[in-house]
Amino acid sequence: MNSSSGKTYMSTSNCSTGRKAGDAAAAAADQFPVGLRVLVVDDDPTCLMILEKMLRTCLYEVTKCNRAETALSMLRENKSGFDVVISDVHMPDMDGFKLLEHIGLEMDLPVIMMSADDGKHVVMKGVTHGACDYLIKPVRIEALKNIWQHVVRKRKNEWKDFEQSGSVEEGDRQLKQSEEADYSSSANEGNWKSSKRRKDDEDETDERDDTSSLKKPRVVWSVELHQQFVAAVNQLGIDKAVPKKILELMNVPGLTRENVASHLQKYRLYLRRLSGVSQHPSNLNNSFMSPQEATFGPLSSLNGLDLQTLAATGQLPAQSLVTLQAAGLGQSTGKSGIPMPLVDQRNIFSFENPKIRFREGQQHVNNNKQMNLLHGIPTTMEPKQLAGLHHGAQSMGNLNMQVASHGSQSSQNNPLLMQMAQPQVRGQMLNDTSLGHAPRLLAPMGQPILSNGVAANVSTRNGIQENIRAPSYNPVSQTSSMLNFPMNHASELPRNSFPLGSTPGISSLTPKVAFQEDVNSDIKGSVGFLPSYDIFNDLNQHKPQNWELQNVGMTFDTSQHSNSLQGNLNHAHSVLVQQGFSSGQVNGQNRSATVVSKAMFSSGDSTGHVNAQNGNQHLNSLLVDSTVRVKSETPTNLYPDDFGQEDLMSALLKQQDAMAPAEHEFDFDGYSLDNIPV
């Protein structure tokens, strides 16, 4: 038995079959997966030796490595030198999942995890981190024989996603094809991808990009580069983020559209995972996070933002928000834009959890996004970073942390948002301090939360990051001075890792958060902040009525956070929304859906509104998408069960109307959900 097992592809000598370009490639094509280039990483020398032998027997080209760092540098040096990576989970120098993330982000290679640990939790972790497969040790050769399917599948999916993103250009597609051809080199050439795709496309592709069919060196996505990427994506709007435009925005010499395209894929996956991770079981994220999700994200973010703004500004008509949310939600998958922090156990705002729950998936996304957005923190994308973002917001810290910590960023975000909201309420309070504090400003905690949630939603939600960011981001940048700041201090969510990479955008976001605080104070007019912000303001102003509702639904924990948030919500809404929730916002946003709505409602606080409005306007333009989304999301999410969001929304809307929206224009009405690219 042993003799024949590995010799399926017998044909040529072992390994290195398809290595040589040219005839090897041609030959390899027929023999695929012979010659598949595998990188094996495991600190156990016994396992490594066995795996290498097994893989060689399968006629794969094997490179073994006993340290994750070494593997990573090997991959970076030669991005297109490998087709698939197999890595152990427990390694001394780096956690296998961390390596998995790095590889996914930087090189976009299929990664297979292995471990002697077959616990469901660990396997789930592998799934959520994006591993294409999970092997239980001891590994049998039969399991290794089929790993080539992951290579094929990934390429296929990338291509498909690429197309689905809607913005895929003809050329891109072609590029992808040729790209894939490059990657697979020997292995894929003759394979699946080829023929039909390549056709004459290659020619076009060649012209189009430099990539053409030549092997392009893999791009190393450094932190800065990624941040630029995220910023560009946010700026464009996740759903509108076409590789070509992103490339243009980034303006990085030597970067090709293909690079951007594949990175975008991974990024979306990452976002999805973020939203999904936090939620875990119920994570809708995973499901909805599909590529299409990207749009979704924005929605969520919008919701978060919108809600907040709405809340803050009070302008945002409840309806708008609701619609937005609904739109956002509906679009996303019904997940509701408001990433209900399912997991938020930590969230202070209990309401968030329940409510947001259903949006969970989204929320997480949002949260993450928001967090990121808000923080403007670089795209490290690592969940941890997001967490870091949250940290920023002190009070929000809890929330944020929550968000960050568990992956369910949504939850965290909300807290953050909430916190943010609070500061806002005070107007300047956003500072973290305020956040954590009892709702000073807004009585209804819900409000702040809303903003948070909204913010969170906004940010996390979809690709919204951009959206959210936009709001916050834009305002900040635009109105900038005002916005950016105050919030920053307040909750500045850890601008960390926020993979959103929003750095550019995000940074603005963060300021936004601060902005929120300031928003109230500063924004006054400068803020172009997120439209949602305005909404919140409005809401805040109107708070009276809604708050109650909201509070109910929001089940805010009376904890300070919630309170502060609430208060902040009013103010925070605007800020939160914008800031991306650096602290609470992020969380808030995610959760925001609910929060936002709440915030909106509760926004009764006037503090936020003023600014929000200003910000809104500004934001409106920016946020339009995001806010809209947010709104739609939040409404639904926020009070999924408790409050009939509709009720809240209507309340909100009423308020808004009453409020004399003037400034805000953010009316969602204006932004019909249609606008929201979902």
Partner 1 sequence: MERNPLRRQLQLMRKSLFDQGYLDEQFVQLEELQDDTNPNFVEEVVTLYYRDSARLVLNIEQALERKPYNFHKLDAYMHQFKGSSSSIGAKKVKAESTLFREYCKSGNGEGCMRCFQQLKKEYATLRKKLEAYFQVARQAGPMETACRPK
Q: By CB under 8 A, name the binding residues for partner 1.
A: 1-3, 5-6, 14, 43-47, 49-50, 53-54, 57, 88, 90, 115-117, 137-141
| Cβ atoms within 10 Å of 480's Cβ, excluding its own | 21
Cβ closest to partner 1, residue 68 vs residue 294: 68
Burial readout 24-50 (b: 16 or more C-beta within 10 A, e: otherwise): bbebbbebbbbbbbbbbbbbeeebbeb
Residue 183 has phi, psi (to 5 degrees) of -60, -50
Q: Are 623 and 666 in contact (CB under 8 A)?
A: yes
CB of 115 to partner 1, least distance (A): 7
Residue type at position 51: L
| Distance (Å, whole) CA 224 – CA 217 | 19
CB of 43 to partner 1, least distance (A): 8
Cβ closest to partner 1, residue 141 vs residue 223: 141
Q: Are 496 and 374 in contact (CB under 8 A)?
A: no
CB of 56 to partner 1, least distance (A): 9
Cβ closest to partner 1, residue 52 vs residue 203: 52
| Cβ atoms within 10 Å of 641's Cβ, excluding its own | 14
Cβ closest to partner 1, residue 93 vs residue 117: 117
Q: Are 454 and 307 in contact (CB under 8 A)?
A: yes
Cβ closest to partner 1, residue 48 vs residue 247: 48
| Distance (Å, whole) CA 484 – CA 79 | 38
Cβ closest to partner 1, residue 120 vs residue 196: 120
CB of 525 to partner 1, least distance (A): 56
Give the containing element (helix H, strand E) for 350: none
What contacts 146, CB < 8 A, 6 or more positions away?
A: none
| Distance (Å, whole) CA 471 – CA 468 | 5
| Distance (Å, whole) CA 379 – CA 376 | 8
| Distance (Å, whole) CA 534 – CA 620 | 8
CB of 62 to partner 1, least distance (A): 13
CB of 50 to partner 1, least distance (A): 6
CB of 61 to partner 1, least distance (A): 15
Q: Which residue has the tokens 């929330």?
A: 399
Cβ closest to partner 1, residue 59 vs residue 321: 59
Give whole-number Cα distances, 574 to 130, 139, 423, 540, 652, in Å.
35, 54, 10, 10, 15
CB of 89 to partner 1, least distance (A): 10
CB of 1 to partner 1, least distance (A): 6
Cβ closest to partner 1, residue 66 vs residue 645: 66
Cβ closest to partner 1, residue 107 vs residue 122: 122
